[in-house]
Structure 1
Amino acid sequence: MDEHRLKCFVAVYEQGSVSAAATRLHMTQPPLSILLRKLEDELGVTLFDRSGHRLAPTATGELFYLRAKALLANLQTMRRELREAEQGARGSVHIGCATAASLFVMPGVMEDLRSSGLDITVHVQEGETGYMLQRLRERSLDLVISRSEYIAPELETRIIMDEPLQVALPPDHPQAGCDRVRLEDLRHDRFLLHRSPLGAGISDMVLRACQQAGVVPNVVYWGGETLPMLLMAQKGLGVAFAPQSFGQLAAAGLPRLVPLAGAQLRTHLNVVWPRQLVLTPAASRIRDLILERFAP
């Protein structure tokens, strides 16, 4: 049984005669009658009562009509979904995200998805950069958005959200009310820094700038996430460094971020994907949305 036979049966059922159905199907009557007979033989049932002047569906024919209509509708839906998947309008995308990407990139991506009408489900996983890049190579992830600057020949990297690095001070810090803070003003503070297990990250910039300023930082904490360090700074446990975008969270109980004077430190998020592997159409759509909205 194929789709053409289903359509022919439905046409005969709905038109009530072979001749009317043949006209609707743009075919002649004899081949349509033969097709119906073959369909009944294949199914081993009688679909129409032919004793009167008009074809009347049997109880079996009534049931088959319902099933045939459902099958044809499912086939049409499947074709549409496959076309959409081929065009990147439907599917699932797995993205490894730094916390900043989850906070400041993905909400915008989801807004764009909703406004564009794309039927794409996004699966986000946060984690350490090295682990996420390994999953990217294994094709467990489609894209990675990370903070560390990591260069590898098999990976394509584009910068998004280039922004200045700023400092979070405890509420009772002597420089807390200043518009700008020099690294020299922090020489007696406890530093809360990001560890950079892979590539160059925020701590590398801070330590290099401290060296240039003649400051030997007292690092008391190495962490992988910015938010815990900002909370520690708010509790007076040290000074922390964060991208300017985290200043949006000051109203949520996090400390105000203060620009650094003198040291022109900038950081950025990077979107990474395999260079030599073809992205799925849906993953390509998401990557393009990210680049269009956030790339400088």
Structure 2
Amino acid sequence: MINLTVNLELLTELVTFKRYGTLSATAEHLMITQPTVTRGMKRLEEELCVTLFDRSVSNHIKLNDTGLLAANEAAKLLKNVDDFTDKVLNYDRLRNEFTVASIIPGPIGLLDFLKDQMPTRPVINWQLVNPDNVASDLENLKERLIFTDHEIINDDLESFYLGREYLKLEIDPFNPLSQKKAVSFKDLTGMTFLVLQDIGTWRKIVEDNIPQADFLYQNSINAMNTISQYSRFSFFVSNLTQALPDTSNRFNGDPRITVDIDDPKNEMEIYGTYLKSERRVVQPLLKALSQAWPK
């Protein structure tokens, strides 16, 4: 059995060469010199005792079949190394922090508002999680708890039901719809709305269900508040965000009227999803949050 130790930097150069196709492009991407890449690839071949490149054409090299295999396996190995590093660092961080994230903003806004009432002081990650990354972020210990819009149960994960989130409409009192007790998404056809840029799953829901609407997306709550005060554009709040300070500030001197949205698509079940091994630590906070959940 060969005792082989391979330099990870050389594997990074190999993977980068496969991606960019030339020594010069590889060197430029890695911010090193082309001779350094050339020496590195020769050294890697020597360490592996194989030929990785086809050098039959003068002044041009390309990966042979062995090189392609090596580059693909190197990419897997480098990802495993990154995952290993992240998991160790995240574990050490989680020993002292209760980190919480979400795929939509409402639940973390509510938790931040109620955090002084929680049995554990959470550290909130305001960057929304891609729904496809929920399981990996929890398994790699990036987060201790993630709010999701559906239940997740497998060998390692489980979800705790918290309640529902639904939208309400804030509309100018001169709009005829303001006189209604409730409207449907279809009633809002063709209207213009101020909307925060990062609203997760809600963005697809409103875009798919309000025909011919214009959505003026804002990157920050401050911009949203300012434009709200100097315009008549409608906007949405939810049962989770309606009582939050940022929302309340938006209503200072604001004549808009709150109208319910009675529509079957205007409802989202919210869960707290976590590792089963974290159940004892996570569930007390989830139980406290569910008891304070706005109806």
TM-score (norm 1): 0.49
